[in-house]
Structure 1
Amino acid sequence: MTIDGGDEPVEPVMSAARPQSLIFSFLGIYALDRGTAISSGAVIEVFARLGVSEDAVRSTLARMVKRNLVTRSRVGRRAYLRLTPYAETVLRDGRRRIWETGAVNRDWDGTWTVVGFSLPDSRRSTRHDLRSRLLWAGFGPLQSGMWIAPGTKEVAEVFDSLDVDDHVTVLTARALDPTEAADLVAKAFDIEQIARRYRAFLARWDVTRPLPDAPDDLVRQLLLHTDWLQLVRQDPHLPAEHLPADWPAIRAEQVFHVRAAEYERPALEVAAGLLEGLTP
């Protein structure tokens, strides 16, 4: 594959992120709250720069339509994409996690949200879905059927459409002797695995390292935002006081903000040449 009329092949520069995650990042940066639609041709051109084939982009967009993330419409021969209200809600949550919540929990008040559940074997699939949603929401399994997360969590969306209200109990609690908060963190969460994710991010993006090989800063911006959002979405936001002093999330968050600021203007300039109606 070549771009911009060049003769050299473009090697894929994607991270471990799926094309849908990258497209979602792109729409979050350049479509969310702008009130405009984006042509599917522009998306295809952008992702050619990422080494993603046109067929892969089209099939990904078709799946996103089926999952109620985007709608498609036509004006003449051109197809346009627009975010659904559901997608806007998801993207705003991602934006909040990136720019407001942050990667380090320095404001923990000592409370835990506790979810207990018991589902019959006939609902094994629902049990799996519930566990997946709890992980996504920042919970960790303390013991069989009991999951915890630091702070007070709104969990109504976790149970939405699962029909499990009669099988779950949700409480807020504090650790009392002989239970220590640090022990709860160690039991319910894989601290080393979380740390490895941040170290992998630093290995890719640290400002002391060479930039990831990419054709331009728009590509780097999309890779950066996708990598970081996936990382913070997987982070249960554990209280900093119960994590190692050299917790890599601290450095990783600094690096993200430096790189994001570095790419913002040049990425917008590249995007403005591809997207109709986009202005700085």
Structure 2
Amino acid sequence: MGRRGRPAPPDPDTASGEEAPPGDEAPPRLRPRSLMLTYLGNYVLGRRVAVFSGSFIDAFARLGVGEHAVRSTLARMVDRGLLARHRAGRRMHFGLTPRSEAILLDGEDRVWRRGVLNTDWDGTWTVLAFSLPESWRRVRHDLRARLAWAGFGPIGNGTWIAPSAVDVPALVDGLGLDGRLKVFTGPAQAPTDVPAMLGEAFDLGPLAAGHRAFLRRWDRPEPLPGAPDDLARYLWMTTEWLELVRADPRLPVEHLPDGWPAVRGQRLLRELRGRWEAPARRIADAAIECIEM
């Protein structure tokens, strides 16, 4: 975990050299649910289909994820409203829900359109304060996860800040928080020490380390030569990057340290996408079994 409960990025290695240590030739350690969301976003989103459970098992076997973990992930995602079951004969299929479609579209926008670099900040901050009963532990967890995804960082006493104007009603929709939030937007006023406030809300050390680990793994002529194919490489790479994006508050570039590694990482991501996206899709499309919805 990062400071004040903020999720830490994967592989928090603090080394900054360009040569890859031996462990960085291995695939990143990623949760099956994160890999599942990447798979769904790339090969199911935008199609009115439900995918046969066996297709998930076969696809994730090439990532080293076993059948039990895949079935458990699918079941948990159904329980959380992220997938819907559809039976066809004796076969079980899984399709997207409106909630998962919204999450996947937002992730696609963050990764491929907006990116992790805020180059046009107008000085607007969003300040959000909340106080929830101790018994609302699940709601508090979901709220904090959504705030972190939207670029908020905590500054104490249930107060979070984001360096942008955030559509908070859309962000917290469905959590039942009417009357429990206080939200303000506007520029910071003197005598606010903006750099100090950013340092309090956002722990950039682990985030920079995560970006450097991404570069060590992928910024090489032939990344992961032992991978079974380009589908595995593409899913691993985009999922690792999405985990970084999820933890990245997209701070204004004027407040980032010189040589911020996300600049190079984002450029590399797009270069490798150009290499692997088409062959990965051919492999995925050939292997997927689904029914029309």
TM-score (norm 2): 0.83
User: Could you say which structure has the greater relative contact order, defined with CA pairs below 8 angstroms and 6 or more residues apart?
Assistant: 2
Q: 1:96 is matched by which residue type in structure 2?
A: D
Q: Shift in Å at residue 60 of structure 1? A: 1.6
Q: Counterparts of 1:61 and 1:118 in 2: how far apart (Å)? A: 33
Q: What are the within-5 Å matches in structure 2 for residues 190-269 of structure 1?
A: 190-208=203-221, 210-211=223-224, 213-269=226-282
CA distances 1:101-124 after superposition (whole Å, capped 9, x unpaired): 101110111110011233455656
Q: What are the within-5 Å matches in structure 2 for residues 38-187 of structure 1?
A: 38-119=51-132, 126-187=139-200
CA distances 1:22-60 after superposition (whole Å, capped 9, x unpaired): 122111111100222222111111111112222221222
Q: Are the counterparts in 2 of residues 204 and 212 from structure 1 also a CA contact under 8 Å?
A: no
Change (3 A) 1:123 1:69: closer
Q: Shift in Å at residue 154 of structure 1? A: 1.0
Partner SS for 1:109: coil
The residue aligned with 2:4 is: none
Change (3 A) 1:117 1:208: same
2:201 is aligned with 1:188 = yes
Change (3 A) 1:181 1:72: same
Q: Are the counterparts in 1 of residues 32 and 73 from structure 2 also a CA contact under 8 Å?
A: yes
TM-score (norm 1): 0.86
Q: Are the counterparts in 2 of residues 205 and 212 from structure 1 also a CA contact under 8 Å?
A: no
The residue aligned with 2:19 is: none
Deviates more, 1:133-142 or 1:28-37: 133-142
Gaps of 5+ in 2: 1-25
Query: Matched residues, percent identical?
Result: 50
Deviates more, 1:214-223 or 1:17-26: 17-26
Greater Cα radius of gyration, structure 1 or 2? 1
The residue aligned with 1:32 is: 45
Q: Are the counterparts in 1 of residues 41 and 104 from structure 2 also a CA contact under 8 Å?
A: yes
Q: Shift in Å at residue 156 of structure 1? A: 1.6
Change (3 A) 1:212 1:107: farther
Deviates more, 1:61-70 or 1:247-256: 61-70
Q: 2:66 is matched by which residue type in structure 1?
A: S
Q: 1:246 is matched by which residue type in structure 2?
A: G
Q: Counterparts of 2:169 and 2:38 in 1: how far apart (Å)? A: 25
Q: Shift in Å at residue 132 of structure 1? A: 3.8
Change (3 A) 1:277 1:118: closer
Deviates more, 1:42-51 or 1:155-164: 155-164
Q: Are the counterparts in 1 of residues 154 and 161 from structure 2 also a CA contact under 8 Å?
A: yes
CA distances 1:111-163 after superposition (whole Å, capped 9, x unpaired): 10011233455656654553343223211122323211011001124433444
Gaps of 5+ in 1: 1-12
Corresponding pairs, count: 266
